[in-house]
Chain A
Amino acid sequence: MKPENILEIKNLVVKFPVSGGLFLKKVAEVKAVDDVNLEIKKGETMGLVGESGCGKSTIGKTVINILKFSAPGVEISGEVWIRTDEGEVNLLRLNNNEMRKYRGLIQMIFQDPYSSLNSRLSVGQIIEEPLLYHTKMSKNERMDRVAWLLEKVGLQAEQSKRYPHEFSGGQRQRIGIARALATNPKIIIADEPVSALDVSIQAQVINLLQELQSEFDLTLLFVAHDLSVVEHISSRISVMYLGKIVELGPGEKVYHHPIHPYSRALLSAVPLPNPKLKNKERIILKGDVPSPMNKPSGCVFRTRCPIAKPECADFIPVLELKTVEHFAACPYVSA
């Protein structure tokens, strides 16, 4: 691992088996994540964008090692290294028991604030739960910490006795954030944390995340499909298409000057709140995203690419440095 990095994903491949027939044999597989390399520096916010089904959430769930539970047959290869106080650890090599030790360091904020909180537990019980597993605090200490966390995320300490159904979506997401922060984690995976909220609440939650990030020196992997949200919060952005990272660079640059033809098309689709700019050039891609069970050979984007050449079918493009810290996986474009 490079010294400035806190999380490194190397050659990550995630395959979901597709079973069929009488004996449920594996008949095909979906490569949701295809040879992804990603380095995340300490304290930065890495935005991961792409359309539905491109594998961005799968990366988040692989990093936090919960994919094996929700999809038992999944095949994961590659390495996910994190830096801990005792050195570097490859999370994918750990079994469930060994992993439990590191769970306090890396936490997740879930997309749906309605299903991510157990409706049978009070808010206090929900937030104190990680403390039960990772600390030896007494009941009073835990309750103090819960109250402190609730105030940190903009709720009131007295609300710890309430139940989740008594809160709005935005408040529930704040509870989810408080829970993720409970054990003082170093890395937080935010899996589309605002896409289930309405726009006015989105801004509040994003700003809250930013404040907490600087206060607690957090490293964020921010998964989203909403580009303007990602641009607002991310120091770097990676753009995914069909399980591959096609562009990676500083947030400003990727958002305003995308290089890869897919990123260009994706970013031209962002609605702008300025009516004078309505004549902005829009790149409309042909066709649909190919099925991940049956990906095109060579460059996965070539079937829809406006600048595709016959040679694109022959080789898999790798991320190349285009300008300062700005990479794109296409040899035919330049910044």
Chain B
Amino acid sequence: MSDKAEKKVSTSIFKKRWKKFKTIKRGYYSFLIIVFFFILSFFLPFFVNRDALIVKYDGEYYFPVVKFYSAETFKQQGVQGEANYRLLKQQFKEADSDNWVLMPLYPFGPNENLLDELTEIPPTPPNSEHIFGTDDRGRDVFARLVYGFNIGLSFSLVVSFFSYLVGISIGSMLGFFGGKIDIFGQRFIEIWSTLPFLFVMIILSSILNPNFLLLTIVLTLFGWMNMTYYIRGEFYREKARDYVSAAISMGAKSSTIIFKHILPNALTPVITFLPFIIVANIFSLIALDYLGFGLPPPTPSWGQLMNQGMQNIEKWWLIATPLLAMFLTLLSITFIGEAIREAFDPKVYSRLR
């Protein structure tokens, strides 16, 4: 072998697929955009918030974005509880003192009631101050949308993770051990799959108060079954191959065989389905919120905004903005899914261009 070939960097299958994924621009850029905005959305309090970033008052610095200050701290008149920093900024300006307030880029909070400041009865249409208008309780729609993006996507990732965890564990057990475990396990999954999700959810939310944890548990309980079929099938196929026999003949334990040998080879359906499952879970949360069985108010959520929009059908911004946000999010995640599927496809030209 020549020296040149020797220097060639060796690539694992995963790296090869990642390279191929990167060449599919639509999916790759969607991936970058979604990841960027998702990470950014965890720092939303620094960009979209009613609380000021920094306040300089009487020679001292205050950081309201991380700490609570009552109105009395700044000798603010006519405000109960936490200081109103937008008002404070105006007051400082009028007083023309050394004091100043640095507000975030978009100075409205997601759960902040603006009834006192609004000149019209909410919901008010979009204007330069509230770019997507306000909802029927006088809250800023844009702020609710961006916070809702973070909550929706985080929720969906958590649910997808746990349903994958359960689905993959049970699916690999069925596939690896086979026999009676497989037969009874599958019958159980079939029976479990016939439980109507929405009814159970309605019954549960009439007894218990829905919250993030309860919704995660319920959606996981109803979401793990599908993955078991794929993983079980993959395990059946992979365990018949010689490298598994080789691992046994080398003396590997069952757990080593499952996790080190078979699972990495059985992950193709897991990874290719992931974006679509994330989409499905985002959608589930929106649907539950829309029906009123979702996250408790006043959690910012797209479904709840759409519900308002349906009740005030002539206020177009209440229905158009969450729909647009949902459309863009789901579209880009679907692009990612399509690109991943393509990257895992051994055929080169199977995508419609």
Binding site for B on A (CB under 8 A): 61, 64-66, 69-70, 72, 100-101, 103-104, 107-108, 110-112, 115-122, 129-130, 133-134, 156, 158, 161-163, 165-166, 176, 179
Contacts and interface: CB of A to CB of B under 8 A. Distances in A.
Given A72-B179, A165-B13, A129 B243 contact: no
Contacts of B10: 122, 161-163, 166
B130 interface: no
B249 interface: yes
A130 B251 contact: yes
Given A112-B242, A130-B251, A162-B10, 5 more contacts: A108-B249, A110-B246, A111-B242, A118-B265, A122-B10
B13 A115 contact: no
Nearest to A61: B245
27 contacts: A61-B245, A65-B249, A66-B248, A69-B244, A100-B251, A103-B250, A103-B251, A107-B249, A107-B250, A108-B245, A108-B249, A115-B243, A116-B243, A116-B245, A118-B264, A120-B13, A120-B14, A120-B265, A122-B10, A122-B12, A129-B247, A129-B252, A130-B251, A133-B250, A161-B10, A163-B10, A163-B13
B251 A104 contact: yes
A130 B246 CA distance: 10
Task: Give the contact-size bracket for chain B.
Answer: 20 to 34
Greatest chain A CB density within 10 A among B13, B178, B251 is at B251
A163 B239 CA distance: 20
Interface in B234-293: 239-253, 260-261, 264-265
B320 to A, nearest CB: 47
Given A103-B251, A122-B12, A166-B10, A179 B178 contact: no
A156 B1 contact: yes
Nearest to B261: A118
A69 B179 CA distance: 11
A111 B242 CA distance: 9
B6 interface: yes
B148 to A, nearest CB: 39
Nearest to A119: B13
Nearest to A102: B251
Interface in B1-46: 1, 6, 10-14
B246 A179 contact: yes
Contact of A117 (B14, B239, B243): B243
Contacts of B265: 118-120
Nearest to B11: A163
Nearest to A64: B249
Interface of A is mostly: loop
Nearest to B250: A130
A129 B13 contact: no
A140 to B, nearest CB: 20
Contacts of B240: 70
Interface in B88-109: none
Interface of B: 1, 6, 10-14, 178-179, 239-253, 260-261, 264-265
Contacts of B260: 121
Contact of B242 (A115, A129, A130): A115
Greatest chain B CB density within 10 A among A118, A121, A122 is at A118
* Shortest beta-carbon contacts, A-B, top 5: A103-B251, A116-B242, A133-B251, A120-B264, A130-B250
Contacts of A121: 260
Given A72-B178, A110-B242, A120 B12 contact: yes
Contacts of A108: 245-246, 249
Greatest chain A CB density within 10 A among B179, B244, B248 is at B248
Nearest to B252: A133
Contact of B250 (A70, A119, A129, A156): A129
A100 B257 CA distance: 14
A23 to B, nearest CB: 11
A163 B12 contact: yes
Contacts of A72: 178-179
Given A72-B179, A163-B13, A66 B249 contact: yes
Contacts of A165: 13
A110 B251 CA distance: 16
A73 to B, nearest CB: 9
Contacts of A115: 241-243
Contacts of A111: 242
A112 B240 CA distance: 13
B14 to A, nearest CB: 8
Nearest to A111: B242
Contacts of A158: 6
A158 B264 CA distance: 25
A172 B207 CA distance: 62
Contacts of B1: 156
Contact of B248 (A69, A104, A162, A163): A69
Contacts of B246: 108, 110, 116-117, 176, 179
Contacts of B248: 66, 69
B116 to A, nearest CB: 61
A130 B178 CA distance: 26
Contacts of A107: 249-250
A129 to B, nearest CB: 6
Contacts of B252: 129, 133
Nearest to B7: A158
B245 A69 contact: yes
A108 B246 CA distance: 7
A112 B242 CA distance: 8
Contacts of A61: 245
Given A156-B1, A165-B13, A118 B6 contact: no
B234 to A, nearest CB: 13
A16 B261 CA distance: 27
B199 to A, nearest CB: 34
Contacts of A118: 243, 247, 261, 264-265
A64 B249 CA distance: 7
A168 B242 CA distance: 17
A72 B265 CA distance: 22
Nearest to B183: A24
B347 to A, nearest CB: 16
Greatest chain A CB density within 10 A among B1, B11, B12, B179 is at B12
